[in-house]
Structure 1
Amino acid sequence: MANTDGVDRTIGNPLSWTGRVIGAGTRHLGEGARETVGRDHAPIKIRSIGIEDLRAALRAGWDDFKAFRSDVIFLCVVYPLAGLVLIRFAMNESLLPLLVPLITGFALLGPVAAVGLYEMSRRREAGGHPSWGAAFKVAESPSAIAILALGLVLLAIFVAWMLAAWIIYAVTLGPEPPVSAVAFFTDTFTTAPGWAMIVVGTVTGFLLASLVLVIGAISFPLLLDRHVGLRRSVKASARLARKNPQTVAIWGAIVVIGLGLGMATLMIGLIFVLPVLGHATWHLYRRAVEPAEEMTEEPV
């Protein structure tokens, strides 16, 4: 029916209502898809960073962790729980060769798991007092689809690593599944094919982890902070690695050691390690990229 203020309040029949909902959803997806290209065309100027910048980022990450302690512990408990579920799945003898690759490869998804932490640090830096609920505001960001797309890229790298690990096992100790855990570990460390699997697997894992570090070092925080699009965010992250190779390599080592220690405690340590590293990544981004209004360099 029509309201007296002249605005049509008619709900309409189910078909017209469904059409309006689909139309609104299509427009929203269209806007998000355009953000994968980006609407912020200002230059992205990468600074030179050193060890002191890493220390400062870690200190700031620790400060954020203390400020959000109960919130981020609650938020981050999902990540180690997911890891434990996957590890339990891999404990099946037929999947035993994937156990170590799964544990090590799970770290490849760390940047995705920490997106909500970047958002919390961003809001705190802006003077807010966000709770864990702020992490879910990432879904409302204009860059949400670009962030999702980058997350899917990291997921694809993780899947590629798992497939590579199985192929490496198949051509060394396989292709038959191990008869037992004891037999598998014995063959791994006491035979030439076992050591070949270790060496080739380590090199492959290192290359894929390096790829994730290069494309993901600052790309997620950059997408949250500025709507530069997927391609430019990844390109800026790669440029940071090219300009500061030693510092980025050390940062990667810090992340690997931190996550490794967290996993070594049956994933429990990740509840504390992940938020500190996640918040620190936001502050590292701040030290690595100049604010838009200060930039004079040509676009990436």
Structure 2
Amino acid sequence: MPIRNPVEWMVAQLEVGAALGSDTASEYWPDKRAVRLPKVRQISIKDVRASLAGGLRDFASSRTDVIFMCLVYPVMGLVLAGVAAKESLLPMLFPVASGFALVGPFFALGLYEMSRQREITGRMNWLDVFKVVRSPAIWSIMAMGGVLIGLFLLWLAVAQAIYDITLGPQPPASVPAFISAVFTTDAGWVMIALGLAAGALFAVGVLAISVVSFPLLLDRPTSFTRAISVSLLAMRRNPLLLLLWGLVVAVALFIGSLPFFLGLVVVLPVLGHATWHLYRRLVTA
């Protein structure tokens, strides 16, 4: 059997997945309860712990780290290479790295699908990620992803504006000079405070519209607007616990990023699977 390069193999898998949205509703959602209107329930801290435990179990059952080993390193490598090649990008390093959390729910779709397939078949394989493209809701999913990408780009614009009015607009002379300006000047601390405040607003907004919407679009027939409205309802009914969930995600991503982003190979799949289990506890048939 000939060995193909990764690009050829990926194209072949997408061809197996067939055209976008090619599955019918009955094929993709065999569970009859899927057609019912979703109901949002109040959760407890036990549900948060159980969701994380479920994420760990799903991660342990399949080598999902392989997926993110292919995705995380090239992205981070490009960012770091860009910083090394052009120091004018240095002020955007933290906004880009932290902004990954804003688009994370979209890029975790494959992990949600893997957990969904495990519920249906009792088995899970990382090739299940390619089944997402056959979903009848793929266009709504892509629209939702476009919203998050738009918010990510808006966050970068806001972060650049904050830098311009505090330490900028001229680029830093060097890495040491930039670090010194950030932590030893009043303008640097103002930049940190404004950046954290703006980042928190973006993070809470994305959490509110996406914590349920992506899993819901995969789970049952629903519209783009209904998915967002159900997600907002979940946030209104569980504000403190979902904010706690957001904090857990942020801390986990930070810890996973410390050893040269190596920890993200484990953290990202676990959080993705756990989000599916949290959705199951938030939304009932």
Q: What's the TM-score bracket when you normalise by the shorter of the two chains? A: 0.7 to 0.9
Aligned AA for 1:268? L
Which of 70, 73, 80 is 1:78 aligned to?
A: 70
| Percent identity of equivalent pairs | 43
Match of 1:90 in 2: 83
Structure 1 spans left out of the alignment, 5+ residues:
1-24, 33-39, 292-300
Q: CA deviation at 1:93?
A: 0.9
Q: Conserved in 2, the CA contact under 8 Å of 1:83 and 1:106?
A: no
| Partner Cα separation in structure 2 for residue 79 and residue 50 of structure 1 | 33
Runs of 4+ in 1 over 6 A off after TM superposition: none
SS of 2:284's partner is: coil
Aligned AA for 2:67? L
Q: Conserved in 2, the CA contact under 8 Å of 1:108 and 1:158?
A: yes
Match of 1:55 in 2: 49
Q: Conserved in 1, the CA contact under 8 Å of 2:72 and 2:265?
A: yes
Which of 239, 254, 270 is 1:245 aligned to?
A: 239
Q: Conserved in 1, the CA contact under 8 Å of 2:21 and 2:138?
A: no
| Partner Cα separation in structure 2 for residue 211 and residue 84 of structure 1 | 28
1:158-177 correspondence runs (5 A): 158-177=152-171
Match of 1:116 in 2: 110
Q: Does 1:147 align with 2:138?
A: no
Higher deviation after alignment, 171-180 or 125-134: 125-134
Q: State the TM-score, normalizing by the size of structure 2.
A: 0.85
Per-residue CA deviation, residues 92-111 of structure 1 (Å, 9 max, x unaligned), is 31111111111111221211
Q: CA deviation at 1:42?
A: 4.1
- Structure label with greater radius of gyration: 1
Which of 18, 41, 45 is 2:39 aligned to?
A: 45
Q: State the TM-score, normalizing by the size of structure 1.
A: 0.81
Q: Does 1:185 align with 2:183?
A: no
Per-residue CA deviation, residues 156-203 of structure 1 (Å, 9 max, x unaligned), is 111111111111111111111111111111111111111111111110
Q: Does 1:267 align with 2:261?
A: yes
Q: CA deviation at 1:73?
A: 1.2
Structure 2 spans left out of the alignment, 5+ residues:
1-18, 26-33
Q: CA deviation at 1:281?
A: 0.7
| Partner Cα separation in structure 1 for residue 127 and residue 241 of structure 2 | 33
Q: Does 1:131 align with 2:125?
A: yes
SS of 2:275's partner is: helix
Aligned AA for 2:145? G
Q: Conserved in 1, the CA contact under 8 Å of 2:106 and 2:145?
A: yes
Aligned AA for 1:77? M
Which of 172, 196, 202 is 1:208 aligned to?
A: 202
Q: Conserved in 2, the CA contact under 8 Å of 1:84 and 1:267?
A: no
Q: CA deviation at 1:149?
A: 1.0
Instruction: Say if 1:108 and 1:83 are closer, same or farther in 2 by CA, change over 3 A.
Output: farther
Q: CA deviation at 1:249?
A: 0.6
Q: CA deviation at 1:78?
A: 3.2
Q: CA deviation at 1:129?
A: 2.0
What's the C-alpha RMSD, in Å, of the aligned pairs? 2.0
| Partner Cα separation in structure 2 for residue 74 and residue 110 of structure 1 | 17
SS of 2:42's partner is: coil
| Partner Cα separation in structure 2 for residue 87 and residue 139 of structure 1 | 31
